[in-house]
Amino acid sequence: MKLTNVQIDLFAILISLFLIITGVIIEPFSTKEILMTVFGLAFVIGGYAKAKEGILDTISNKQLNVEILMILAAVGAFIVNDFKEGAILILIFGFSGVLEEYATSKSEKAFKNLLKLAPTTALKVVGEELLEVEAKELQIGDVVVVKNGDSVPSDGKIFKGSTSLNEQAITGEFLPVEKIEGDHVYAGTINLSSTIHVEVTKNPSDTIVQKIIDFVKEAQEQKTESQTWIDRVEKYYVYLVILFSIMMMTLPIIFNWLPKEEAIYRGIVILVVGSPCALVASVSPAVLSSLSNAARKGILIKGGSHLERLRSIDTVVFDKTGTLTEGKPKVIGYHVLQINEELFKNVVYSMESQSNHPLALSIVNYFSQATKVELETKESAGFGVEAVYEGQTYFIGRKNDNEITTDNMKAFFNQGATLVYVYQSERLIGYIGLKDTLRKDAIDVIKFLKNNQIETMMLTGDNEFTAKAIAEELKLDSYKSNCFPDSKRTIIEELNKDDKHVMMVGDGINDAPALSLASVGVAMGDGTDVSLETADVVFMNNKLSHILSSITLSKRMKNVILQNMIFSISVIVLLLISNLFGWVLLPIGVIFHEGSTILVILNSLRLLFK
> Which are the catalytic amino acids?
319
CA–CA distance, 185 with 342 (Å, rounded to integer):
35
If one counts every other C-beta atom within 10 angstroms of the C-beta of residue 148, the result is 12
Nearest to 555 by CA among 282, 310, 284: 310
Q: What pairing do the DSSP bridges indicate for beta strands 537-539 and 299-301?
A: antiparallel
Instruction: Please report the DSSP string for 303-334 in residue order.
Output: -HHHHHHHTT--EEEEEIIIIIB-S--EEEEE
Nearest to 155 by CA among 526, 524, 507, 538: 526
Count each helix (H run) and each strand (E run) in the chain, helices first. 22, 22
If one counts every other C-beta atom within 10 angstroms of the C-beta of residue 58, the result is 15
H or E, element range at 407: helix 407-414
H or E, element range at 228: helix 225-254
If one counts every other C-beta atom within 10 angstroms of the C-beta of residue 53, the result is 14
Query: Cα separations (Å) of 504 from 386, 508, 516, 520?
Result: 29, 12, 9, 7
Nearest to 524 by CA among 509, 543, 499, 501: 543
Phi, psi values for residue 168, rounded to 5°:
-60, -40
Which sign does the torsion angle of CA 403, 404, 406, 411 carry?
positive
CA–CA distance, 306 with 315 (Å, rounded to integer):
15
Phi, psi values for residue 288, rounded to 5°:
-65, -40
Nearest to 139 by CA among 85, 57, 90, 206: 206
Question: Which residue type occupies 30?
Answer: S
